[in-house]
Structures are given as structure tokens and as C-alpha cells.
Amino acid sequence: MSQAAKHIAIIMDGNGRWAEARGLPRNMGHKAGIEATKKVTKYAAEKGVEYLTLFGFSTENWKRPAEEVNELMRLLRFYLKAEMADLHRNKIRLRVIGFKEDLPEDIQVLIKQAEDMMANNTGLNLTIALNYGGRQDILQAASRMAQDIQAKDIEPDDITASLFNQYLLTRDLPDPDLIIRTSGENRMSNFLLWQGAYTELHFTETLWPDFAESDFDFALQDYKKRDRRFGAVRQV
């Protein structure tokens, strides 16, 4: 059986369907999703989880209707302004990964302020993936590594998985032990593709706004039943 999960990542899915099922506009689902995010972050910290990574906005989400994207940006601004002080009081350290340069400039400023404020905190390491894509992360890492080879900073024979990790946006994080995806979808959706090579997966029908402490506990218990062999054979 597995030990307790050190790093849990969550694909937070189902906000729009949650709203549509209630006859509400999709933005109300995203607003409810923010409340679920706050609740789960607090509970993960209470449970002693060391790293929590949340997939907030993907590189593909720009394809959504402009009105919905604008609402997501508005909610992100609200979250960064309203919740950072509370996270700081709870000693949570915030990181944001993704291609932040493509986000609105004021949001980039808010992210930098929040990261700086919480840089020395020693509690839960909270990472939010914004404008993030797993394939894009691998491509930018390969590009940067190629530039360093061309500059003779490294040699081709120096390349290892460990060295490649240092070029990824997640270079400061351990690989996730468990990835949870809500809303009944059973796919990775371009999230932590390199990092999740041997990650355990837990899929639930629960829509993200309804994801509660009991759902989190169930996922943790499911994880503990797993036999993680990382390609090796079962030890008898």
C-alpha cells in the first residue's frame, strides 16, 4: 500500500455543467468553483499535505467564448486580491506556474505581489497553474536546453531526466503522487504530462463546486490502496 500522498494535483473541472444543471449562467459555476478552491486548499493544509497543485486555466481555455474568459480573469483578480492575506496568515506559500506573460498585465502584477509576500512561508506549498499546458511546458524546456547546448553551457551527453526536470516550470516541485480529476472526465487534458508519468490517478463524477472534504478524503484513501511500483515488479 502507498504511503500518504506528499503532492496532490487537481484538475478542477465541471464549473460550467454545475451552473447549467441549475439553470444558472456559467460564470456562477466559476464563482462557486472559487469557493471550492478555498475550501479544499484549507482542508489540504489541515490534513498535512505538503504540496497542492491546482489546474486553474489552461493554454487551451483561451478558445472559450470571450465573455467567459473575461469572467474567469475577473474572478482571478478577485481571488488574488481578496484571499492572499488569508493564505499568508495560514503560512501557505503560493507559486503560479504557466506562461504568465500572456496574462493581463495587472494580473501578472498581482501574482508577483502574492508570490513575494508568501515566499518565506513554511506551510502548504500551493501551486496554481494558469495559462499552463503540459506539452507547451515540455517544448519550452527542450528549447531552453537546446539554447544552453548551443551556448556550450551543457553537452548533449549531460542530458538526463533529472537535468531536464530543471528546465520545466515545475522545477521546484516534486512529481505529483496523486492527480484528482473531477466531473467524470477521464483524461489528463494536457496537465503535468512529464511530471505525471507515474502518478496515480483518481477520477470522480463530482463536479468541482460540489467537491467537499469527504471527496478529498475518499481520494486519499483510494490512493493509499495503490501499489506504486514505478515500473518494477511487486515486492513479495
The pLDDT tens digits for 22-51 are 999 999 999 999 999 999 999 999 999 999
pLDDT at residue number 227: 83
**3-class SS of residue 200:** strand
**Which pLDDT tens digit goes with each residue over 174-232?**
999 999 999 999 999 999 999 999 999 999 999 999 999 999 999 999 999 998 776 66
> In whole angstroms, what is the distance from residue 137 CA to residue 173 CA?
14
Under 8 Å between Cβ of 222 and 202: yes
pLDDT at residue number 236: 47
pLDDT at residue number 3: 83
**Which pLDDT tens digit goes with each residue over 148-157?**
999 999 999 9
pLDDT at residue number 231: 64
- Grid cell, residue 19, equals 451552473
pLDDT at residue number 235: 53
Above 80 in pLDDT, residue 71? yes
> In whole angstroms, what is the distance from residue 58 CA to residue 109 CA?
19
pTM score, whole prediction: 0.94
By CB atoms closer than 10 A (0-12, 13-18, 19+), residue 66 is exposed
pLDDT at residue number 202: 98
Active site residue 210: no
CB atoms under 10 Å from CB of 140, counted, come to 15
Q: pLDDT confidence of 60, banded at 50, 70, 90?
A: very high
Active site residue 157: no
What domains are there in the chain, each with its CATH number? 7-133+174-224 (3.40.1180.10)
Catalytic member of 13, 137, 177, 215: 13
Q: pLDDT confidence of 168, banded at 50, 70, 90?
A: very high
